[in-house]
Amino acid sequence: MGGLPAGRVEPSEHDYAEWEQRVDALMVLLSGVKGGTPRMTVDELRKNIEALGPEAYDKLGYYERWVTSITQTMIQRGIITTDELGRKMEEIRARREDACRK
């Protein structure tokens, strides 16, 4: 990306949402920085973000790219499966729908 034409640097900052902080924390834990078995490397994180393609920079936020990459890496590593992920996401979605209705 270095050297490509781009616009003004907007000095923006934002407070990170809890879910974003948890994504960051998951990466710290999974890379083994805090001791514990490393389950993935930052290199896989970066590779899988790159694999999202350039449109991902426009369509997805920073931690949206991270959570997608980490999840993809966990599938590649065989720690979770696509099927498990699909079922779990449905379960959580339904659980959240119920909670929203109350």
Partner 1 sequence: MPEVAAPGAGQYPTRFPSLPVRFAAGDRVRVREAAPLGHIRTPFYIRGHVGVIERYCGAYPNPEELAQMRDGLPAQPLYRVRFLQSAVWPDYAGRPEDTIDIEIFQHWLERE
Partner 2 sequence: MSERGDTGKYQPLTYFQLMEVSLRELLVEKGVVSEQAVSDAVEEMRRRGPDTGARVVARAWADPEFRRLLLENGTRACEAMGIEVPATRLVVVENTLQVHNMIVCTLCSCYPRMLLGIPPDWYKSRNYRSRAVREPRAVLAEFGLRIADDVTIRVHDSTADMRYMVLPMRPAASEGWDEARLASIVTRDCMIGVAVPKP
What are the residues binding partner 1 (CB under 8 A)? 2-3, 41, 43-44, 46-47, 50, 76-77
- d(C-alpha 62, C-alpha 20), whole Å: 9
Smallest CA-to-CA distance from 73 within 26, 25, 18, 6 is with 26
Shortest Å distance, C-beta 43 to partner 2: 10
- Binding partner of residue 47 among partner 1, partner 2, none, CB cut-off 5 to 8 Å per kind: partner 1
Alpha-carbon dihedral 65, 55, 52, 13, rounded to 10 degrees: -20
**Shortest distance in whole angstroms from residue 8 CB to partner 1:** 16
Q: Which is nearer to partner 1, 21 or 41 (CB)?
A: 41
